[in-house]
Amino acid sequence: MKVEFVTLDVFTETVFGGNPLAVVTGADALSTEQMQAITREFNYSETTFVVEPTDPSCTAAVRIFSPAHELPFAGHPNVGTAVALARMGGVFGRSIGNRVRFEERIGVVEIDILREGDDVVGARFVAPGQAERGSMFEEDAIAQCAGLPPGSLCLDNHLPLIVSLGISFVFAELVSVEMLARCQPARAAFGAHLPAELAEGLVLYARDRGDDGEIRLRVRVFAHMQDIVEDPATGSAAAMIGALLGEVEPGNDDLRITIDQGIEMNRPSRIDVGVSRSGTDEPSVTVGGRAVPVMAGVLTLEDRNDRSPSTSGEQT
């Protein structure tokens, strides 16, 4: 059996920046076990599999896997998959215009296609549902997980806490971008303070200089439960940051947040977040960015139980 794939770098305008994503199309014949094995073969933070939706109002059903397990939702896979399908022009006999709807485990995710002339350059999704706050953590515990000294965290706006949107992360603000760059995650401390049943990992952010009316953040994400030491661009975490700041930032105006991530990994990423706080009890969050194609190829599978897929590809 042969199935086609493409890869893209997401939340970047430049090849070899951002967060790489593999998109496997025509994946209906694949088993869950094969999808997981293929994801481990690519060894990216996530791989998506496009299958025919059960809901006829949806463009496609999308299954998202990390190397460790299947995810109900993730950000950069939605942006990258939307860009990949829009560049194809259609899927399952449906042409793709300026909006797609993906059927996912979390529910339906709506995504706008970003175009410049005839070129598909990116996508922007509406965060599905509302982010939920969970447990809070002691400052020293999070500092230990990040390999930082006491006093590294900024507690002016919130204590370290869990925020959930399909998946859960612990969020903490640091006192400076310089402190963020010093992070050296300590796996033993993760095991002691952030057990697997609580969160997928740790999101640390610091405020950077922004233009008038814009919040500029630097972010690092350590996704230990997804078998990812550090993630270069995390759209789901960006959505949760938007929801969190929508609650704690003063005033009632809508927010524009620019997130720079992956700097310390030499995979610079740019994520644009919008938070609408007007006339609603809960802020509405959008997350968008650009994506560029990198490779296209074919996966060759011997049978449904094959756990060692081979790949052939051509860089574009």
Catalytic residue numbers?
46
Pair 21, 77: CB distance under 8 Å:
yes
Residue type, 126: V
Closest CA to 241 of 225, 226, 227, 261: 261
Q: CA quadruple 70, 76, 79, 81: dihedral positive or negative?
A: negative
Rounded distance between C-alpha atoms, residue 26 and residue 91, angstroms: 9
Q: Tell me how crowded residue 154 is: count the other CB atoms within 10 A of its CB.
A: 17
Who contacts 195 (Cβ-Cβ below 8 Å, separation ≥6)?
none
Closest CA to 171 of 159, 186, 183: 159
Tokens 């033993």 found at: 188
